[in-house]
Structure 1
Amino acid sequence: MEIAILVPCYNEEQTIGSVIDDFKRELPNAKIYVFDNNSSDRTSEVARAHGAIVRFEPRQGKGNVVRSMFRDIEADYYVMVDGDDTYPAEFVHDILAPVQKGEANLVIGDRLSNGTYFNENKRQFHGFGNNLVKGLINKLYKSNITDIMTGYRGFDRLFVKSMPVTSPGFEIETEMSIHALDNRFLIKEVKIDYRDRPEGSESKLNTISDGAKVLRMIFTLFKDYKPMLFFSVWAALFLVLGLAVGTPVIVEYVQSSFITKVPSAILAVGFVLLSMLSLACGLILDTVAGTHRKNYELQLNRISDRSERG
């Protein structure tokens, strides 16, 4: 069974050689693919010198890199890991075991449960952001995933070849998690250690802007995957506002048979109409989403059949 190690990279000259060497030691028969995302340093040269297969992705952003990886690389099992040497290679066997045994389609390397992430990572706001995203997704899908945004993951071929990557940047980890939850893929978490970047290696993450992108991605996927719930929330909000504005108007009419608060009456009617429109949109899009799920299941069957024949 062929194993592919996928390493997205952007200016990781200092660490990529160590990452490749570590994974070659743990999995000598695996193919290691380094995707250089417009690096301005010697990332690609170092990767090639250490024996990796180097590919280039001109569209900037980790999501664009993952899209090309999933589309172009053929293997039976996949491991994705960052090129910054923060994820120890010795845990790759724990990452691969569940997908090789058929126990999971997606394996998540949980950095948080062992406590090493909070000990090593000095960016306190990142921990807050991780917890916020994790709480939102777990509440939305009634799940209990511990580490939503880890960059150390294992996949089987079915997940990789059926994953529609739409995120351009660092939102990709969140998109993967939501896609797996919504389509009821088998998910398993494996506890791993985390180490901070070596001195001189700089993170490409921007806590505020990347956090905003992740939250926007959750909002968008919530609308796409659960339209009935999404639009029902808006319908309820508009209805409450309509009742709040319109109740004094109704009380006045009951008491005097006249309406003097005409602007309030118009505003209340507008809110109620928006509530009805939101509910109607939710019903229509929920039917569309249901049809999409059925078609997606048929697509999964076709991919599975091709994999078995191959």
Structure 2
Amino acid sequence: MKIAVLIPCYNEELTISKVIGDFKKKLPNSDIYVYDNNSKDRTSEIARQSGAIIIKEPRQGKGNVVRSMFRDIDADYYVMVDGDDTYPAEFAKELLKPIIDGEADMTIGDRLSNGTYMSENKRAFHNFGNNLVKGLIGKLFKNDINDIMTGYRAFNKFFVKTMPVLSEGFEIETEMSIHALDKKFLLKEIPIDYRDRPEGSTSKLNTYKDGIKVLRTIVSLFKDYKPFPFFCVLSFISFIIGLLVGIPVILEFIDTSFITKLPSAVLALGFVLVSIVLLTNGIILDTLVKQHKQNYELFLNEFKIKNKAVDDKNE
């Protein structure tokens, strides 16, 4: 049983040694990989001295790092954790247990259930942002996941090797959660403690800039995964605007049998036609998405069969 601990890093020289040491104690037989994402400090040097395997990722952004991790590292089970020492290694085995027992394809380290994130996190609007993302994804994708954006997760090989990573930055956690929900992977949340960064360590997450990226990702993935309701909403809005613009024109025609508000009539007709086009697009794209899901299910079945054949051969 091969376990890989994946640690994406950017300028974490103050904390990386402790993170590596803690995970060595809790998972002594695991391989610890530190992916250095263009750090300007001694992160790589300290991580190497602490016994980790160092891999450089030149493309900036956490999503790019995770893409390389998932492509490059071959293991049976994976733990992904940030290098800032905010996630205690004591919970690593709890995250791995449902994966090893076959109860989950991905486990999520839930920072929000026990209240430690609310008390420890000192960054303004982060609690609001987490709740906003949780509420949006809960409504749009009909789920009750409590902590969508946590960076502490565990996976099996099945999930890692079939996850298409499209994000480039901090929106990667949101993408993984939505992908797992849409493709019916087994998910399980494990309540964990959270601690704030030590003094001198600074967050690389920009509350507003990265928050907007996350919200944009949610909208984009909603369009990609659920195009029919997405375009239905746009179609309804366009139709209502066309109706509001066109009502005076209709009333005038009923009263006088003439239309003098020609610009309003053309504008109303334009909005109604756009509404029809949007609805048609939604129907077509919804059919394509269903076909993609069918093909993806077949791909997952084929992956499992091939992987089992390799395992049997190795045994």
Using the size of structure 1 for normalisation, the TM-score is: 0.99
Task: Note if 1:39 corresponds to 2:46.
Answer: no
**Structure 1 CA distance for aligned equivalents of residues 258 and 49 of structure 2:** 85
**Structure 2 CA distance for aligned equivalents of residues 191 and 309 of structure 1:** 35
**Structure 1 CA distance for aligned equivalents of residues 119 and 244 of structure 2:** 49
Task: Note if 1:201 corresponds to 2:225.
Answer: no
**Structure 1 CA distance for aligned equivalents of residues 2 and 303 of structure 2:** 17
The amino acid that maps onto 2:61 is: G
The amino acid that maps onto 1:100 is: I
Deviation at 1:307, TM superposition (A): 2.0
Cα deviation 1:66-99 (Å, max 9, x = unaligned): 0000000001111100000000000001100111
Cα deviation 1:160-189 (Å, max 9, x = unaligned): 011100000000000000000111111110
Aligned to 1:233: 233
After the TM superposition, which residues 239-254 of structure 1 pair with which residues of structure 2 at under 5 Å, given as runs?
239-254=239-254
Aligned pair count?
310
Greater displacement, 131-140 / 298-307: 298-307
Deviation at 1:265, TM superposition (A): 0.5
Deviation at 1:274, TM superposition (A): 0.4
Cα deviation 1:242-289 (Å, max 9, x = unaligned): 111111111111111011111111110000000000001111111111
Aligned to 1:187: 187
**Structure 2 CA distance for aligned equivalents of residues 304 and 45 of structure 1:** 39
Deviation at 1:124, TM superposition (A): 2.9
After the TM superposition, which residues 15-30 of structure 1 pair with which residues of structure 2 at under 5 Å, given as runs?
15-30=15-30
After the TM superposition, which residues 149-298 of structure 1 pair with which residues of structure 2 at under 5 Å, given as runs?
149-298=149-298
The amino acid that maps onto 1:94 is: E
**Structure 1 CA distance for aligned equivalents of residues 87 and 298 of structure 2:** 36
**Structure 1 CA distance for aligned equivalents of residues 153 and 131 of structure 2:** 19
**Structure 2 CA distance for aligned equivalents of residues 110 and 170 of structure 1:** 17
Task: Note if 1:113 corresponds to 2:113.
Answer: yes
Cα deviation 1:191-219 (Å, max 9, x = unaligned): 00000001111110100000000011011
Work out the percentage of aligned pairs sharing the same amino acid: 67
**Structure 2 CA distance for aligned equivalents of residues 74 and 18 of structure 1:** 25
**Structure 1 CA distance for aligned equivalents of residues 230 and 297 of structure 2:** 23
The amino acid that maps onto 2:278 is: S
The amino acid that maps onto 1:114 is: N
**Structure 1 CA distance for aligned equivalents of residues 53 and 299 of structure 2:** 30
Deviation at 1:32, TM superposition (A): 0.5
What stretches of structure 2 of length at least 5 have no aligned partner? Answer: 311-315
The amino acid that maps onto 2:283 is: L
The alignment partner of 2:190 has SS state of: strand
Deviation at 1:141, TM superposition (A): 1.1
The amino acid that maps onto 1:135 is: G
The amino acid that maps onto 2:262 is: V
Q: Give the RMSD, CA atoms, in angstroms.
A: 0.7
4+ runs deviating over 4 angstroms:
none
**Structure 1 CA distance for aligned equivalents of residues 15 and 251 of structure 2:** 71
After the TM superposition, which residues 68-87 of structure 1 pair with which residues of structure 2 at under 5 Å, given as runs?
68-87=68-87
**Structure 1 CA distance for aligned equivalents of residues 287 and 162 of structure 2:** 22
What stretches of structure 1 of length at least 5 have no aligned partner? Answer: none
Deviation at 1:150, TM superposition (A): 0.3
